[in-house]
Every structure is written in structure tokens, then in C-alpha cells.
Chain A
Amino acid sequence: DTGVSQDPRHKITKRGQNVTFRCDPISEHNRLYWYRQTLGQGPEFLTYFQNEAQLEKSRLLSDRFSAERPKGSFSTLEIQRTEQGDSAMYLCASSSGLNSYNEQFFGPGTRLTVL
């Protein structure tokens, strides 16, 4: 399978704990995106990487959130001191940089539950 993969698929944690999610994009894609989706809503943009550079960050990305893409391949999203409001599906997507507005291909998501 050469699609976008995410790990873990599900994560249950206690409030105050730190969690880290991983995303592996489609291999030839140089753009990588993180979104958050809560029940009954569409995905909301969090951040975007072109290769290893983080070029856009949403105001939704508080200082408890940090994302990295150290070698321009896989990416990690860390949430520190989790809160119940962080419970959501975290989606990763990737796209090629051939055209300005290419379609983004999404992974299966990581569902986070904060108790």
C-alpha cells in the first residue's frame, strides 16, 4: 500500500499526558499537512510542511502543539499536557508540488481520546 499512513490509529490518554502521532506521506510527495476533525465538523487545518520547512501554522495550533518533519519524509505531531478539548481525529495529508493547488491525499487518521 503506497498511500498515506498514520500511527497509531487510536490513542487514549489521561489529561495532562503528552502524546505523539506519526505520519508517513506518499513517498514522492513533498508537501505534508496536518488537520484536526471533531464530530460533525469538517477537517480544520493545523499546519503545512514543504519538505522539512514548516511554512504555515493555524491559530488552532497552540503552544502545546508542535509538529516536525526532520528529513522531509515522515512527520510527527506532539501534543503536550493534553486537555479534554484535544479529543479529535488527527488527519495527515500529502500532495505533490507539481502544481500550485494539487489534490491532497489523506491518511486514515489517529483518533485521540483524552480522559
Chain B
Amino acid sequence: SQELEQSPQSLIVQEGKNLTINCTSSKTLYGLYWYKQKYGEGLIFLMMLQKGGEEKSHEKITAKLDEKKQQSSLHITASQPSHAGIYLCGAYHSGAGSYQLTFGKGTKLSVIP
């Protein structure tokens, strides 16, 4: 089973609309990371969340971490075509000494002008 489940798998929104992407972990989180990927390219780091209740924003993107639910949400306000891409959540699941990130399958976002 997938350790990190993302929903939805894909999303098509009209430019200017708000949207939310969710990431749920089946294991204890030691850090939750959001990345964006353009097709065929590397990952661009967006935000890192480590503490329960933590919320971070960058431009029109806000991410929150619910430690009790082992869940994070990524919210985009007033979406633009430049927001299109694949959003990936990644997490450290093990304790000290293991630094491998586990990723969800990604959410493909399309923004229609």
C-alpha cells in the first residue's frame, strides 16, 4: 500500500479559482515537503512543514500540517496557468539516521485560461 496518498490524482480548474490538494500519511511523519514538477523535469521545492498545526505560505500557495491526522493540505488561491504542473508531497517516515524521502504519486494540475 502507498505510504503517502495524494488526492485528487488530477485536477482541472478555471484560471482564478481556488483549489486544494491533500496528502495523507499512513505512518508517523518526521517532516512533510511539497514539491512541484513540470513534465519531464526535476522537482522544485515549495515548502517544508515539521510541526503539527504549522502553516506556511509562499505567494498564493499555502500549506498546512495536521499532525493528528498525519495529513497535509496545499491550497492555491486564484490559480494561474503558471501553477500548472504535478504537485508531489514527500515525507520522512523514519527516525534519526534515515534520510530517504517517500513520495506520493502526485496530483496533476491543469489551469484553463
Contacts and interface: CB of A to CB of B under 8 A. Distances in A.
A67 interface: no
B50 A42 contact: no
Contacts of B82: none
Interface string A62-90: 00000000000000000000000000010
A42 B90 contact: yes
A50 B108 CA distance: 33
B48 interface: yes
B70 to A, nearest CB: 16
A4 B64 CA distance: 28
Contacts of A103: 33, 45, 48
A58 B100 contact: yes
Interface of A is mostly: strand
A42 B105 contact: yes
Nearest to A92: B42
Interface string A35-58: 100001111110010000001101
A101 B100 contact: no
Contacts of B100: 33, 45, 48, 56, 58
Given A41-B106, A42-B88, A91-B42, 13 more contacts: A35-B101, A40-B105, A40-B106, A56-B98, A100-B96, A101-B30, A101-B31, A104-B101, A106-B35, A108-B41, A109-B40, A109-B41, A111-B40
